[in-house]
Amino acid sequence: MQSRVRALGHPVHPMLIVFPLGLFVMAVIFDLVWLSTDNTVFAQVAYWDIAAGLVGALLAAGTGLLDWTAIPAGTRAKRIGLLHGAANAVVAVLFLLVWLVRMDNTDQAIGGGLFAVEVVAIAVSAVAGWLGGELVDRLGIGVEDNANPDAPSSLGRRAHEVRQV
């Protein structure tokens, strides 16, 4: 089943998820360094990583939602897609809460409690990522209908001819 939102023949959602995921992970790493060193630069970088990650999460969520609406109702894929989206929404809300709490702090630093929330959010994102992998790798969601080891390039003329057959 092909993805609804595509660019140059490829699904957009998997392209977008790497940004918020990477930014959120880096925020946790920079906050860990902040907690270990008291160097406020790391707290500030983590704060802005979360801000950028939230923007990326909104974009990824939009494309994911559009793709989810194309999954047939009553299928295992539809249920897993719902769990995947819900888990990612939890991650975004947790990071949004952390971001809002530290907004009024001049150096955007956090304490151990907010750091624990970030760690929980990353753990939930790992589960959400596994669910996303289940959708693609086991259930074939977002995969080109003619996918095979010798499939033509998605950019070439032959790729369009194959799709029409």
107 secondary structure, DSSP code = T
Q: Residue 37's pLDDT is what? A: 95
Please report, to the nearest 10 degrees, the dihedral formed by the alpha carbons of residues 114, 101, 87, 133 taken in order. -70
Where is pLDDT greater, at 26 or 112?
Answer: 26
Q: Residue 45's pLDDT is what? A: 97
List 6's β-bridge partners, or say none. Answer: 11
* pLDDT band at residue 159 under the 50/70/90 scheme: very low
Give mean pLDDT, residues 127-152.
89
Give mean pLDDT, residues 72-82.
96
Domain boundaries, the chain: 6-164
Distance separating the N- and C-terminal Cα atoms of the chain: 16
* pLDDT band at residue 23 under the 50/70/90 scheme: very high
Q: Residue 5's pLDDT is what? A: 82
pTM over 0.85: yes
CB count, 10 Å around CB of 124? 17
25 closest CA partner among 116, 119, 133 = 119
Q: Tokens 């702090």 — which residue?
A: 105
Where is pLDDT greater, at 76 or 161?
Answer: 76
Residue 55 has pLDDT above 50, yes or no: yes
Query: What would the pLDDT profile of 78-90 be if each residue is shown by its tens digit?
Result: 999 999 999 999 9
By the 10 Å C-beta count (0-12 exposed, 13-18 middle, 19+ buried), 157 is classed as: exposed
Non-local CB neighbours of 157 within 8 Å, separated by 6+ positions: none
Residue 157 has pLDDT above 60, yes or no: no
Q: Where are the beta strands (DSSP E) in 1-123?
A: 6-7, 10-11
The Cα 6–Cα 149 span in angstroms is: 20
List 7's β-bridge partners, or say none. Answer: 10
